[in-house]
Amino acid sequence: MEKRKTRNLIDIRDLSTKEIDELIEVANDIIDHKEKYSHKCDGKILATLFFEPSTRTRLSFESAMLRLGGKVLGFSEASSSSTAKGETLSDTVCVVSGYADIIAMRHPKEGAPVVATKRSLVPIINAGDGGHNHPTQTLTDLLTIKREKGRLDNLTIGLCGDLKFGRTIHSLIAAMSRYKNIKFVLISPNELKLPDYIIKEVLDKNKIPYIETDNMQKYMSDLDILYMTRVQKERFFNEEDYLRLKDYYILDEEKLVNAKEDLCILHPLPRVNEISTDIDDDKRAKYFIQAYNGVYIRMALILKLLEVK
């Protein structure tokens, strides 16, 4: 089998700002003209290789390919694949890339999608690697921010919860740091602070202003976006630490008293306790719209990586 020339999406920085803006434009066009895209991927196959649980990412990828007229195959847990018999990721990807035109994969190990690109004949999309990156969640977040706020610059963004292990946070910071006049308020308990390497290599390097605090309400009135995250139970080594930190932040109406009227509340989901269900009917709660948008930005991404016009 000959290795075809392919483009992958492993890190959000694999896409230029111009390319991200174009993907958002295409996703908006798909939302407005769904029928125009319904046969764009006729005859194409997407493989979803999920070695870790997922609802939104896997199903929105599958929905995206089906809505483009293509087909899907794959597995949703390592135990139902030959990984359970000891097959390496590299061998699995090498084989599956002969069965599909594009692969979306999720893996608990940071860097696994990079390993996959070495043996794949087709584009690899990182659908989440450990506590590292989640670039297609970020594309979903950017589409949602653009649709809800009308811009991706001049924003004060509060990131709240597990900033240490939250891969959606890491990718979102990398993406938003490229837009003008962005400020971050990093809200976390001391144990779950943003890793130093992101502070140094992304925030300090790009001279992005940020404040670190453990107080959710202190800067609430300044925020244009409040991005809540769940404490990532699966990344903890110690159950006791997880139990101590899991309910550190619970967003409810009382905590929003000083928030802007046009605050946009996002969450990549799944939610555990960190947003009270009372907030769901607040007009500022956009997390279910965010999940809905995920299908359309993934449709735009599939078209781009498969070079479908």
Contact residues: ligand CP, CB under 6 A: 54-57, 128, 137, 268-270
User: d(Cα 23, Cα 123) in Å, to the nearest integer?
Assistant: 17
User: Cβ 270 to ligand CP, closest distance in Å?
Assistant: 6
User: Cβ 171 to ligand CP, closest distance in Å?
Assistant: 11
User: d(Cα 287, Cα 21) in Å, to the nearest integer?
Assistant: 21
Q: Which is nearer to ligand CP, 152 or 269 (CB)?
A: 269
Structure tokens at 131: 């506590």
Q: Which is nearer to ligand CP, 235 or 260 (CB)?
A: 235
- With beta carbons less than 8 A apart as the criterion, state whether 167 and 129 touch: yes
Neighbours of 269 (CB within 10 A): 19
Q: Which is nearer to ligand CP, 54 or 293 (CB)?
A: 54
User: d(Cα 272, Cα 190) in Å, to the nearest integer?
Assistant: 20
User: Cβ 37 to ligand CP, closest distance in Å?
Assistant: 23
User: Cβ 291 to ligand CP, closest distance in Å?
Assistant: 7
Q: Which is nearer to ligand CP, 91 or 234 (CB)?
A: 234
Q: Which is nearer to ligand CP, 99 or 288 (CB)?
A: 288
- Strands across the sheet containing 225-228: 210-213, 182-187, 155-160, 225-228, 264-266
User: Cβ 128 to ligand CP, closest distance in Å?
Assistant: 6
At 45, phi and psi to the nearest 5? Answer: -125, 135
Task: Please report, to the nearest 10 degrees, the dihedral formed by the alpha carbons of residues 252, 255, 258, 262 taken in order.
Answer: -30
